[in-house]
Structure formats: structure tokens, C-alpha cells
Structure 1
Amino acid sequence: MHQGSLRTLEVMTGPSRRVVALVLVALLLLHGTVSSSAQTLRDDEQHLFAFLKNVLPGYPSPFNTSVPTCQWQGLSCIGLGAQQRIKSLALGGLGLNGSIPYSTLGALTSLTYLDLSYNLLTGEVPWDVWSSLPNLVHLGLSNNKLTGSLPKWVNMNQLLELNLSENLFSGPIPDSFGANLRYLKQLDLHGNNFSGPMPAFTNNKFLSYLDLSSNRFTGGVSYATFYIQELLMVNLSRNLLTGTIPDEFGWLYKIRTLDLSENNFEGPIPDFYNLRELRQFHVSSNGLNGSLPVNITRLPYLWDLGFANNKLTGSLPPLPWGMSSGIIRFLDCSNNFLSGSIPWGLLASENLAVVRLARNRFTGSIPTNVTTQMQEMDLGSNNFTGDIPATFTSSHLLEKLDVSSNQLNGSIPWDSITELHSLRYLNLAYNRFAEGALPNFAQFVNLSYLNLSSSYVSGSIPDSVGELRSLLQLDLSHNQVTGNIPTNLSQTTNLMSLDLSHNNLTGEIPPELVSLMSLSTLDLSFNNLSGVVPNANQWTHFTNLSYEGNSLLCGAALNKVCPTLSSPAPSPSAPVLVAAPSLSPSGFNVPSILHRNSSSGLEAGAVVGIVIGISLAICAFLSTYLLFHKKSTYKKPRKENSSYLTGPVTFESDPCAWASLVQQPASIPVIMFEKPLLNLTFADLLQATSKFHKDSQIADGRYGPTFKGALPGGFQIVIKVLYDDGPSNELEKAAQLEAIGKIRHENLVSLVGYCLVGDERLLVYEYMENGDVHTRLHDSPDEAHHPENWTKETWADANEKFVVSEELGWPVRHRIAVGVARALAFLHHGCVPNVVHRDVTSSNILLDSQYEPHLADCGLAELVGSGKRYEMDLTVTEPVLGGTPGYVPPEYGQTWKATARGDVYSFGVVLLELVTGKSPTGQYFHDSYGGNLVGWVRTLIREKRGYKCLDPKLLSSGVESEMLECLRIGYLCTAELPSKRPTMQQVVGLLKDVHVDIVTCM
């Protein structure tokens, strides 16, 4: 108080003095309050600034600091003047990066709205955020990289909306967590790693929106969990829930959306006749059985039904569906065991846009009355008969039509189908149509997929095929198509897959087709094509199988010389009659020329004779040279040793007994490419492996069993015995093995030597001390690989860069990826001829004493596969051409042709293994992810959640950005379309650009 005021107060007396004193006291209190309020705002600002400095690069540049803090964008305050407090923070999508420090946001105790969604925040949510914000109404932390578990207790009694979706939260949801949030209306936890049983929300009487999808919840769903009358939307899809679907869901009278798809529910679908407000009901991809409940289709507002991928039987209920026959819009019953006919009028439902009934047992004819609103109709793989209704013309919005694999007959109504100008996908394959010609394709301007395989199409391919500028895949195989391949086909510049096999096409392959730069799959086999095969651009990657069954084709692509001889010029006075060319013994096409002039005939005969004589001489010389050359490099076993077994015992039935029956093992040489001075025989291999005793066997791969042994000098070896007998001629066997022995690269497991013992081929390799990558990555109990445990830390010492006995550190994993990529690049581009590995897996990547990678089984795919024993060992999950489930590219199931781009795909799977630490397949991968690692990773990357794929055991090492870059490379390698995949040379360059300090493991 000022001195003047005090003096004035001293001289005053009576009532006046008392009034003035009260006024001064009030002013003094007001001054203290204002000072305190101003200090409170400054404290809020300091806490906010501390948070922003930690998570916002370039702070405070995104904000206008020339205005008061409470006027910043995304920020608001409560109170007037100096009494203001920060009330709302909406900082979503600002690129916030880093963790939320303790005592920053949690100290803003007046906050009612906090939204930090779509950023890059990491780490756990501090405890004070959960416990010190009692006024919070909205908390949004979605689409970040936050980790940790939910607390058992929270102090947010006013919270109405909680969104933690698309993060890395894990662990169970405590029952007490839901109990503390009594007024919660919206809870969104989808896209995390929450596990354990379904939480109970018995105290949440106001909850209307609940999304727990894409987590790892297990167990059943009980009545107590969801007895909330206000629920409007429940999404439990993409979890691991089991048991039956509770009947108690029928008590949720207000519910509009119920999604239980992609779990492990069993039993029948309850008859939810009470859910009168239900609009969307999805139970796809479970193990449900029984029939489709009639009362579900009678619900008055139901327009979206999904029952696909179950075991449902019976027929579809008759109309009306819903309040009337026009309410239904989306129906997916594909991949069940449903039968009977399509209810009359169902396809005519006026709002029906998508109907999927594929892969069932439906019979009868396809209804002729179809709504004009239809956009997708998939009726493939059933038993429909009759014609394709011409009334489809009215469906001008139709984009996809699939009636493949039925028993449809009659003529294809091309006049009607060509009127469907919106059509993008047309599949009429595998039916019994009446023979007919191809239509004018000029009307299919939007078509991207056309499959008419095995549909009795005849005639020539019209030139209008060039009008299909959007076409990606064309399949006309197994028909009676004749004529030439039109040159205009080169105008379909987006074409990726072309199959014209098993027809009667003639003429040359148009050289203009090399301009189809996107073409990755080609099959022209079993036609009558002739001339030179194009050998430029991507056509250099197609194998001989693409042209099989066309004996008149030639060129570098087939390693077949084209004919160069031409007939003598005819004399003007002497007409010449030219007959069809005949094949000479030397392989050249020699024209057979018949002249009316006898002297000309003699000259022609002389030319032909000379050519044939020279050709025979060359063949005789080459045969003699090869025979003696092979004899000089291969010591053929004595003839008496070729039949060395005296009983039915084979190597496969009992290797040890088989070995004991081999006569004179010391006389059977082991041909060594390295260390030839060892002068080994089969007897040395018997001693090294204890006569191939089962204790010496270390693996039983797809090509044969593998045994470990040590030679007398201490040199450790591995012996692989091939399952397939191979050629009957021993010289051919030796030539094949010697060809493999010449394939040398520092990142390949090179063939050290071989031994031929009767029919068996024994391959000798150098032993790799540290085993294979698959064992190093995945050799632990199954529980460790289950998604519920994917975020658990298992490092014995967080300061160690690499734990040899348990896990591979990131620098070593990157080095493995680079080494294997270099090996494949060498096979694809450095070998002559180029080599396709066919079985690139983590089990085939071996590690030496320094953990350098070596790709094994190179060239074995060419040796094994034709013998009876191998064919008998094939399983239905493996293509004939080789490959391991989880690594086989998708196109192999259609083309059955191994390609270099297929190896790229398999390498991509290995790269994803190295980045994620997860096996390529497993029961924990949902069908929505394709049931495998590739589908899971690609789904998360498309959803911009790639960071969730990283191996959590490595996240503490500070290499997240490098791992994400390698994840991106793996994404490129595993593209569904082969043409979209990089070459292995490009992959090597991409991996080398990822900066990793390579460490040497001791």
C-alpha cells in the first residue's frame, strides 16, 4: 500500500476511515488474485512449450508467435483476461515426433479437449495424462507409434470420447479401466496389439460406439461384456475370438452395425430377430455352420450382409428381404456350401449393387431380371446351367461380371455384353458355351481383365483388341482360336499377363509386341506359331515354357538357330515348284526344290548333299569331343559297381542299410572341385557319416536329406543326397553336376564335389558353422512368435548389439540381405545361361563362422523334379516347379513357370522376415491379410502403419528408419504383379543405400 494512502487513512476518523480501509483491503486482495491468475497462465504456457520443444522439429515455426498463445491455431483457452487457462489442444497432423514428457501435457489440468492424432509420437503415455486431467472430455491419440499398456486406474470421470487406434499399445484391457470411464460414449482401440480376454464394460451405460477390431483378443464373448443398451456400433473383427456368437447380442435393440468377421467363431448364426435397427451385419471368415437364419433377412433396415468364408449350408431364404425386396444393397455369401437356386427377384432388388455368391453349390439358371443398379456380380465356381441372360444389358453400371467355372451353355450374348460400357472385369472361363467367334472389342474401352479360357471361342483375334488400352490381363487359352496374333495387340500398352496357349494360332509372333513393357506373364505354348521369337526388353526374361509346343519357333530366346538357307533364284524361263521345307538331320530347315529342268535338279541335289554332309560331320565331331572331354574329367565307376545292391533296400527306406550293401566303396571316387589332393572315395564319406547313420543327419530338405561329417584332416563337410535319380546316363549326371560346380560366388554355398553311387547322386558342400537364418530367427517356442508376444522384449542385455545364441542384430540382418541379394543378382544377370533359384527361403541361407550369408541349393531345381519319387512327395500346397509355402509368388499358381521375378518375390519375403522377425506363415495371420506375412505387411503399409511391422526386439537400437526403408524394399519385391517388382541388381543398389554400420560378430 502506498505511503500517501496510509497517511490519509491516519488522519481520517469515524465511519469514513472504516469505509476507506475496506476498499483498500479489497484492492489488495484483487491485486493478489490477478497476479496469481497471470502466473497460472504462464505455468500452462511453460508446460506447453516444454512439450512442443520435445516433439516438434523447428518449434515454434508452425505457430504465429506474434499473437498471444491462446490465439494460436489448434489452441484455445478458458476464462477471461488474466484468469485464462489452456482448455483445448488440437495438434493433429503436425508431424510431432518423439515421446510425451512427464509433467507437460499432464500438468494442463484445465484441459477438456486433447487431440494429437496422425503424428509420429512414440513411447508410453505418461502416467499424469491418465491421472491429472479430470476435466477431459475428448482424448485422441490415434495413428501414432505409442506403446505400453493401459493403466488399471484413470482419473477422467468426464471423458466421452477415447481414440487410441492405430498405435502399438499392447497387453490386456483391465476391467477397472472401463469401470473408471462411466460416461464414455465412444471407444476406439482398433489397430493395436491388445490381447487377452474381451474386457467388460458393465459400468459404461452410455457407450454407443465400440471398435476393438484388428487386435489379438482371445477367448469367447460373454453376455456381461456387452450388455449396454445404448450400443449402436460394435466392431470386433480381426481378432482371435473363439466359441459361439452369443445369443445375448440379440438384446442390443438399438444396434445398427455388428461386425464379428475374421475371428474363429464356430457354430450357427443366432437368429437375431429382435435387432430391428440393424443395418450392417458381417460374420465373414469364421468357422460358422448351419443355415442362413431366415429372420436376419427379414430385418426391416438391413442392407449390408457378409457371410463369406464359412461353412454355411442350405439355400438362400426367399424374398422379401428386409422391409421390401429393394432394401438389400450388398450381399456376400461366397466360399460356403450353400445350394439351391437364387431366389427369384433377389437380383432384381432395386438397390442391390454387389452380389457375391462364388464358390458355392448353387444350381439352376441365372435369373433374367437384374437391377439396373448392379455394379458387381460374382457367380463363379458354382453349378449354374442355361444361358447368360441377355437382360444384363440394362445394368449399365456393371463393372464386374464373373460367371466362370459353371456349366453354362448356349451362345455368349456378345451383343448384350458389349453394351456394358462400364465393364472392367469379365470372366466367362470354363463353361460349355456353343462355339462362337470373338466380338468387336472396340466397345470394351474400360476393360482391364478378360478371361475367356476354355469357353469354346473360335475364329481369329480381331484387330480391335488394340482398342483395349486399359487391359491388364488377357486369357484366351484352351480354345479354337485361329489365324495370326494381331499386330494391334502391341497397342494394349498396360498389358501385364497374356495367355494364348492351347489354340491353333499360326504365323509369326509380331515383333511389335516387345513394346509391351508391362508384360510380365506370357504363355503362347501349344500353337502352330513359327519364325523368330522376340528377344528384347522384358521378353528376354520369358522361359522356353512360354513357347513350348511350337516346333517352328526359333531364335536366341529358345537357343535354337533359325534357318538361313534360301532356295536358288528361279530362272525366268523355267518355272519352279517349291514344296514345304523338310528338317535335315543336322537340324537345319532345307528347302526341297523340285525343278522341271534336270540339270537344275542336280545342282540343287548337290547343294543339299553338301549341306547335309557338312552338318553330319560337325555333329559327329562335337559328339566325339564331348564324349572324350567328359571321360577325361570324370572317372566313371567300374562297371561291376553299377549294380551294387542285392536286395530291395533303397537309400530312402534305410540309408544305413543301403550304405552297407555298396560293394567296393573305396573304388568309387569323389570328384572334388576344391581340395582335389584329398583323393577321396565313397569309403571316406561312409566313415565321415558313420555310414549315413541317422545321428549324422541334420536336415531333410525338399531335394533330399543332408548329413554332416568330418574328413580325416578335420575338414567338415555336408553331404546332400538327391531324392531324384536324374538321367540314367552317368555321363549326363556328371555333366549336370559339373555345371553346378562352376557356379561360384562368395555368397553362394558352392558345390565342393560329388559322388555317383549307382543311381544316387551325392553332393558335397562345405559345412557352415552357424546354421541357417530361419533357425536363428525363429528357433524358439511357438509362443514367442505369436502376435500376442510380438512386443515383448527378450534381449538378455540391451547394451549388446548382437546376441549370437538367440537373435540376429540389425547390422547382421542387413548384411545377410545384401549378401543374398548379391548372390541372386549374380545368378540372374552374371551367369550364362541365367539361373533361376526357385526356392529362396531363410532356411536356404546359411551362415559361416563370421555370419556371412551363403545361399544354398543353387541349381538343384534344375536337377530334381522329373523323377517319380519327387512327384510322389509333392503336396498340394506346392507347385510342381518348386518353392516353399509362404515364399511362392502368386503368379506361380497360375502360370506354373519359375522366373527371375519369382525369385525377387521370394527374396522379398526373406527381407520381410529379417525386418519383422516373424515367420512367413502362421495361424495368427488372418485371411484378411492373405493368411501370411506378406499380406500382413502390405496391408499395414497401405494403411500407413508400417512401423507396426518392425521387430520390437530391435527398436531400442535406434535403427527404425533403416528398418522401415528395408521394409519398403520388401514391399516392392513382393508386389503382386511381377512387372512391378525390381530386378535383383536394383535391389542390391537399394539395400546398399540403407546406411548400416556393419559389425563383425565374434
Structure 2
Amino acid sequence: MFLKLFLLLSLVSFSHSDSSSTVSCPNGTDFHQLTTVFRYVSGFNSSWFSSNCSAVITHVVLPSRKLNGTVSWNPIRNLTRLRVLDLSNNSLDGSLPTWLWSMPGLVSVNLSRNRFGGSIRVIPVNGSVLSAVKELNLSFNRFKHAVNFTGFTNLTTLDLSHNSLGVLPLGLGSLSGLRHLDISRCKINGSVKPISGLKSLDYLDLSENSMNGSFPVDFPNLNHLQFLNLSANRFSGSVGFDKYRKFGKSAFLHGGDFVFNDSKIPYHHRIHRLPHRHPPPVRQRNVKTHRTNHTPLVIGLSSSLGALIIVIFAAAIILIRRRMKSARTKSRWAISNPTPLDFKMEKSGPFEFGTESGSSWVADIKEPTAAPVVMASKPLMNLTFKDLIVATSHFGTESVISDGTCGPLYRAVLPGDLHVAIKVLERIRDVDQNDAVTAFEALTRLKHPNLLTLSGYCIAGLFHLVFLLVDDWDDFKICADKSHPLLWDS
């Protein structure tokens, strides 16, 4: 039986899969609570933890596990012995609960390189308004403005780099025990003076913001610091040889209006301000001589420049005419195919493609150019299934974004630098071809702010796939188990 293959280009949002595992432990156990925390997160595997019902969980360390989805935070409150939480370098999103920071045993939190956002502050829990957290890393996330570290009295390490804070967090200057502070690339404006009282710092990175202040009077104790980076800011002040030697030139590069005026600093690193001087008066006789002597040179340069412009213009006209003549022999709306990649292209089908999980899917057609791509957003593009094979490196595993139950999802780049996601729909192969085309045409006309617009499709054989046009891969959330819900209703 022929398989149905639809390749649908679109910006469509995917819902998250439910990856919760079935557990036999009673509801009150730490193991059951932990599996509940990740019930809406794809990629989570409960076998990573001991299924011993009597085990007490003190560490949840899951960095770089390809977790995708939203964490259910409430059950974490029942992990009363939790000390370390590390979910770094995944694709988790949502807001962090304010009560998280008041958990009495939690001392180390690393949620870096995710998509978390919302506010950060301590709220009273059982009468306590203090946080026990000592090490906190929230870098490479989406936190903005609403950040207050009042109550984080035990913090020794804080990394908020690569967020959009806009201003210095409230309460930051009261963290007297802070030794490591990184707030680089946070789009921070304003004075550095609020953190001048952090006398325990030995690491300070303020680079690539728009902060201002006078160096060194508005800064923390520089004698205690071992690392300093003030580059790409708007600071001012004088840098002596001792600070230059200790922190290096890169610490001050494009950091503002610094003056390196110590004689021990290499000359090319010093900034000299020259007094304004008026030029000496020029006698009228000298001016005339100057003009007379340079007139032939000016005329010669002007003539040469004019001749060069004429030559370039003539060459451009010839090139345009040649291209127009060549275009007359081609289709009026034809667009050139991308340069083929270095892989063998079968001349006849069916075409079989593997996935990351070891499974495969088949496009049952004889020629890769026999199946046209129907474009909705770019109707003048002339593409075929062959172009899709080229754009995905033969639908290779290196192009696979995820491998859900409905079929694999690929990343591809079509001619014209069109970034697309290609979804294989294995679960609807029995849908009639005409019905599917009707549904896809209807979806191309569907417009909604919460849905990504359908951009086109391709029918190769009898197997269904879909394509998605993507403008921002960072904001494109992928779920392997469910695609466009309206597609199934159709």
C-alpha cells in the first residue's frame, strides 16, 4: 500500500507532551513527588532516580538532558531534604515560584541556559523571610526588571548574565558575603555605586551593559578582586599601572572614558587629551599659490574618476542585458534550485529516510522531482520534493530536531534563506488525499496571533508530512508527540 506524504511549510506552535512515568510508590514518597514535578516535561526518565520508595531525595541534578516543557514546581515543596537543584542547559520554561528560595535546605540552584522568566524575590515561609541559597546561577534566561535579592543573605555566588534586567537588581548591595558576581550582558543602565559596598567580591563582571560611574571610587574593593571586566560600558576615571597590570587591558576595553596616564603603562594604551589650538593665520598670497599648484592634480583626478564611473556603468548595462536574455529562455517565475549537497541522490523511488530513534519513513514516489511543493506564503517559488531532500541533507539525522510519536521533525533551509521545520505525520496516513489538501488549503488562510501561519505543503506518494516556516528558532517550541491540533480536527 502506498504511504501518504505531506510536507507542510508553516509557523505552527506545538503543545507539550506528557512524559510522566507510572510509579508504584505511594503519593507521599519523594520518588512520586519528583515524577510529578516533571509530568509535563518531555524527555524526562524516572529511571534516572532510584525507585526505592523509602529513599530521600537530596539532589536533583539533570543538566543537558534535552528536557523540554514546563516544570510543575509545587511538588518540590514536599522534597524537604532537597539541597541541590541543577536543571541547566535544557529547554524548560515558565516562571519560578517565590517560595522556592525559602526552602530551608536548598543551598545550590543552577537553572542556567533555559527559558525561565518572571520575578525573583523571597516571601515569608513559616515566618522566615531569609533564603538559605548560597550559589545561584540564572544566566542565559529571560528575567526582566522584577528582581529583588533582599533576603538572600547567604549568597556567595550569583550569575545573572545574559538576561534583560534593565537595571541593577534591588537588594544587590546588601549581599555582604557575595564573592562572585556576574551581571554581564543584562542591558543594565544606571550607576554602579549601589554595589560599591560589596567588599567580599573576588570576581566581578559588568561587561557589555550601559552602566556609568567613576573608577575606582564608585566600585567595590579593588584590592580584594582577582577578576574584573568593565568592558563595553560608560564608566570614567583614571587607571593606574597597578590596576592595569592586575586586571589587564581587556578589563577596560571600550569601558568608557578611561585615562591610562601612568608612565609605566605602554604608550599605545594611554589616552592623551590635547589642548585645542587655533591654526596659524594663512596669508592670502599663500592660498592663491596653493590653489594654483594643485589645480592640474584636481582636474586629473576628476577626469579619471569620471572615466571610471562611465566604465562601471557600461559594464553594469552589459551584465543586465545578458541576464535578461538568458532569463527569456526560462520560465517566467522559475527560481534556481539550491546547490546540491555531497550525497548520492537516488534516481528512482521509493525513498527511505531514517530517524534518530532508529525507525524510518518512506516517500513512495519514483522521481524526487515528481512531487511539487505548494507554497502559500511564497507562491512564485518553484520547488519539488528534491529541493526538500537537499535542504535537509537527505533528511539526515543531523537535521532532526525531535522524534515524536506522530513522526520526526527536521530543520531545513530552502532557497532564499527560508528557515523551515519539516514535520512527518505518520499517524494520519489513511486520510484521503483530497481531504488533506482541502484541510491544508484552509489552514493556509487561518490567521491568529497564537498560531504560526501555514505556508505550504507537498504531497509525495500517499504519506503525510508537514513543513513549518520558522523566523526565530529560539522562540520556536517543539513537542514530539502533538502537532497542530486543528489539523487533526480537519
Q: What TM-score does the superposition give when structure 1 sets the normalisation length? A: 0.27
Picking from 198, 201, 217, the partner of 1:299 is: 198
**Separation in 1 of the partners of 2:311 and 2:123?**
65
CA contact (8 A) 2:179 2:201 kept: yes
Name the residue aligned to 1:870. none
Tell me the amino acid that sits aligned with residue 365 of structure 1: F
**Does the aligned pair in 2 maintain the 1:179–1:203 contact within 8 Å?**
no
Partner of 2:67: 169
**1:274 aligns to 2:155 (yes or no):** no
Over 3 Å counting, the alpha-carbon distance change for 1:157 and 1:817 in structure 2 is closer
**Residue of structure 2 equivalent to 1:363:** 258
Q: How does 1:317-336 map to 2 (within 5 A)?
A: 317-318=216-217, 321-322=220-221, 325-336=222-233
Matches within 5 A, 1:938-957: 952=478
Given the superposition, is the C-alpha separation of residues 317 and 270 from structure 1 closer, same or farther in structure 2, using an over 3 Å criterion?
farther
Residue 733 (structure 1) aligns with: 317
Q: Structure 1 residues 229 and 245, CA, compared in 2 at 3 Å: closer, same or farther?
A: closer
* Structure 1 partner of 2:106: 207
- After superposition, the Cα gap between the structure-2 partners of 1:277 and 1:127, relative to the gap in structure 1 and judged at 3 Å, is farther
Name the residue aligned to 1:262: 162
Give 1:387's aligned amino acid: Y
In the alignment, what sits opposite 1:242?
A: 144
Aligned partners of 1:809, 1:233: CA distance in 2, in Å? 54
What is the aligned partner in structure 1 of residue 328 from structure 2? 752
1:314 maps to: 213
CA distance in 1, matches of 2:63, 2:25: 17
Cα displacement (A) at 1:805 = 6.9
Amino acid at match of 1:844: G
Measure the CA separation in 2 of the matches of 1:319 and 1:369: 24
> Partner residue of 1:347?
244
1:917 Cα deviation (Å)? 7.1
> Using the alignment, how far apart are the partners of 2:43 and 2:87 within structure 1?
13
Quickly say closer, same or farther: Cα 1:817–1:191, change in 2 above 3 A: closer
Relative to structure 1, is the Cα distance of residues 199 and 953 closer, same or farther in structure 2, using a 3 angstrom cutoff? closer
Using CA pairs under 8 Å that are at least 6 residues apart, name the structure with larger relative contact order, 1 or 2.
Answer: 2
Which letter does structure 2 place at the counterpart of 1:284?
Answer: S
SS in 1 for 2:317: helix
Matched, 1:767 2:333: yes
Give the length in aligned residue pairs: 317
Q: Give the counterpart letter for 2:153 in structure 1.
A: Y
User: Please, which runs of 5 or more residues in structure 1 have no aligned partner?
Assistant: 1-122, 141-145, 371-385, 389-402, 411-724, 743-750, 754-763, 773-797, 820-840, 847-915, 926-948, 958-1002
The one-letter amino acid paired with 1:263 is N
Looking at structure 2, the residues matched to 304 and 259 of structure 1 have their Cα atoms a distance apart, in angstroms, of 11
Which residue in the other structure is 1:338 paired with?
235
Question: 1:733 is aligned with what amino acid?
Answer: I
Deviation at 1:329, TM superposition (A): 1.1
**CA contact 1:218–1:240 (8 Å) conserved in 2:** yes
Q: What is the distance in 2 between the residues matched to 1:264 and 1:952? A: 24
Residue 416 of structure 2 corresponds to residue 844 of structure 1 = yes
Give the structure 1 partner of residue 23 of structure 2. 128
1:994 maps to none
How far, CA to CA, are the matches of 2:75 and 2:45 in structure 1? 8
DSSP 3-state at the match of 1:179: helix
**Compared with structure 1, are the counterparts of its residues 125 and 269 closer, same or farther at alpha carbon in structure 2 (3 Å cutoff)?**
closer
The yes-or-no answer on 1:813 pairing with 2:397 is no
1:501-560 CA-to-partner distances (Å, cap 9, x unmatched) read xxxxxxxxxxxxxxxxxxxxxxxxxxxxxxxxxxxxxxxxxxxxxxxxxxxxxxxxxxxx
Q: How far off is 1:337 after superposition? A: 1.5
Distance, in Å, in 2 between the alignment partners of 1:332 and 1:130 is: 51
Counterpart contact for 1:277–1:301, Cα < 8 Å: yes
Matched residues in 1 for 2:96 and 2:55: separation?
Answer: 22
Tell me the alpha carbon deviations over residues 591-622 of structure 1, each in whole angstroms, 9 at most, x when there is no partner.
xxxxxxxxxxxxxxxxxxxxxxxxxxxxxxxx
Match of 2:83 in 1: 185
Contact 2:161-2:185 within 8 A present in 1 as well: yes
Q: Does structure 2 retain, via aligned residues, the 8 Å contact 1:231–1:252?
A: yes
Per-residue deviation, residues 396-415 of structure 1 (Å, max 9, x unmatched): xxxxxxx4xx75699xxxxx
Distance in 1 (alpha carbons) for counterparts of 2:19 and 2:324: 54
Closer, same or farther: CA 133–180 of 1 in aligned 2, 3 Å:
closer
**Which residue of 2 is the match for residue 72 of structure 1?**
none
**Secondary structure in structure 2 of the residue aligned to 1:258:** strand
Q: Is the 8 A contact 1:345 1:369 kept in 2?
A: no
Matches of 1:368 and 1:213, distance apart in 2: 43
Percent identity (aligned)? 18
1:847-887 residue CA offsets vs partner (Å, 9 max, x unmatched): xxxxxxxxxxxxxxxxxxxxxxxxxxxxxxxxxxxxxxxxx
Distance in 2 (alpha carbons) for counterparts of 1:810 and 1:238: 38
Once the two structures are superposed, what CA deviation does each residue of 1:336-365 show, in whole Å capped at 9, x if it has no partner?
Answer: 11123236743355xx57851212322322
| Structure whose alpha-carbon radius of gyration is higher | 1
Displacement of 1:252 in angstroms is 1.6
SS for the counterpart of 1:312 is strand
CA distance in 1 between counterparts of 2:121 and 2:82 reads: 21
Q: Is the 8 A contact 1:264 1:287 kept in 2?
A: yes
In structure 1, the residue corresponding to 2:158 is in which secondary structure?
Answer: strand
Contact 2:189/2:211 (<8 A) preserved? yes
Amino acid at match of 1:240: R
**Higher helix share goes to which structure?**
1
CA distance in 1, matches of 2:393, 2:251: 44
What is the CA–CA distance in structure 1 between the aligned matches of 2:385 and 2:254, rounded to whole Å?
44
State how far apart, in whole Å, the 2-side matches of 1:131 and 1:736 are: 77
The structural deviation recorded for 1:279 is: 1.0
Query: What per-residue deviation string (whole Å, max 9, x for no partner) do you get for residues 464-520 of structure 1?
Result: xxxxxxxxxxxxxxxxxxxxxxxxxxxxxxxxxxxxxxxxxxxxxxxxxxxxxxxxx
CA deviation map 1:114-164 (0-9, x unaligned): xxxxxxxxx946232886894769x99xxxxx935799xx98882100012
Deviation at 1:313, TM superposition (A): 1.5
Give SS of 1:815's match.
helix
- 1:197 paired residue among 95, 103, 110: 95
Q: Report the residue type matching 2:321 in the other structure.
A: L
The one-letter amino acid paired with 1:217 is F
| SS of residue matched to 1:239 | coil
Change (3 A) 1:359 1:845: closer
Instruction: Please give the TM-score of this superposition, normalised by the length of structure 2.
Output: 0.51
- One-letter identity of the residue aligned with 1:346: K
Cα pair 1:211 1:235 within 8 Å, conserved: yes
* Cα-to-partner distance string for 1:402-454 (whole Å, 9 max, x where unaligned): x4xx75699xxxxxxxxxxxxxxxxxxxxxxxxxxxxxxxxxxxxxxxxxxxx
Cα offset for 1:175?
3.1
| Cα distance in 2, alignment partners of residues 810 and 124 from structure 1 | 34
CA distance in 2, matches of 1:278, 1:242: 22
Cα 1:328–1:149, aligned 2, differ >3 Å: closer, same or farther?
same
Aligned match of 1:289 in 171, 177, 189?
A: 189
Question: Residue 333 of structure 2 aligns to which amino acid in structure 1?
Answer: Y
2:200 and 2:155 map into 1 onto residues whose CA distance is 12
Alpha-carbon spacing, 1:843–1:364, altered in 2? closer, same or farther (3 Å) = same
